[in-house]
Amino acid sequence: MIRLAAEPFDPYAAIQAFAESCAGAGAVASFIGLVRLTSVPPLEKGGRGGDQPQPPAPAEPPERDRVLAIRLEHHPVLTVEMIAAAAGVAVRRWSLIDALIIHRVGEIAVGAPVVLVAMAAVHRREAFAACDHLMDYLKTEAPFWKKEITTAGERWIEPTERDYMDAARWRAAE
Amino acid sequence: MTARLEFYGQLGDVMGRERKIALPAEAYRIEDIVRRLAHEHDEFRDAMSVRMRVALNDRIVEPAALVRDGDVVAFLPPFSGG
- Say how many CA atoms lie within 13 Å of A166 toward its Cβ: 18
Search chain A and give the residue with CA nearest B53: A143
State residue A45's pLDDT score: 40
Centre a 10 Å sphere on the Cβ of residue A148 and count the other Cβ atoms it contains.
19
β-pairing verdict for A113-121 and A27-34: antiparallel
Distance from CA of B57 to the nearest CA of A (A): 10
Q: Is A6 exposed, middle or buried (0-12, 13-18, 19+ CB in 10 A)?
A: exposed
Between chains, do A115 and B82 touch, taking CB under 8 Å as contact? yes
Distance from CA of A148 to the nearest CA of B (A): 11
Centre a 10 Å sphere on the Cβ of residue B58 and count the other Cβ atoms it contains.
12
Partners of residue B4 in chain A, C-beta under 8 Å: none
Mean pLDDT, residues B39-63 taken together: 96
Report ipTM for this prediction. Answer: 0.95
Search chain A and give the residue with CA nearest B78: A158
Using CB atoms, pick whichever of A33, A103, A140 lies closest to residue B79. Answer: A140
Using CB atoms, pick whichever of A33, A73, A81 lies closest to residue B9. Answer: A73
In the chain, the amino acid numbered A4 is: L
Domains of chain B, earliest start first: 2-76 (3.10.20.30)
- Taking Cα atoms as reference points, which of A46, A1, A45 lies closest to residue A21? A1
The pLDDT profile of chain A, 174 residues, written as one tens digit per residue, is: 999 999 999 999 999 999 999 999 999 999 999 999 877 665 444 444 445 555 566 566 555 578 999 999 999 999 999 999 999 999 999 999 999 999 999 999 999 999 999 999 999 999 999 999 999 999 999 999 999 999 889 999 999 999 999 999 998 776
Taking the C-alpha atoms of residue A111 and residue A117, their distance in angstroms, rounded to an integer, is: 17
Distance from CA of A23 to the nearest CA of B (A): 28
Its pTM stands at: 0.89
Between chains, do A159 and B10 touch, taking CB under 8 Å as contact? no
Q: Is B69 exposed, middle or buried (0-12, 13-18, 19+ CB in 10 A)?
A: exposed
- Taking Cα atoms as reference points, which of B54, B39, B79 lies closest to residue A164? B79
Search chain B and give the residue with CA nearest A103: B82
Asked if residues A147 and A69 have their Cβ atoms less than 8 Å apart, the reply is no
State the architecture of A2-39+65-173 in CATH terms: Alpha-Beta Complex (3.90)
State residue A48's pLDDT score: 42
Is the pLDDT score of B44 beyond 90?
yes
What does the domain layout of chain A look like in residue ranges?
Answer: 2-39+65-173
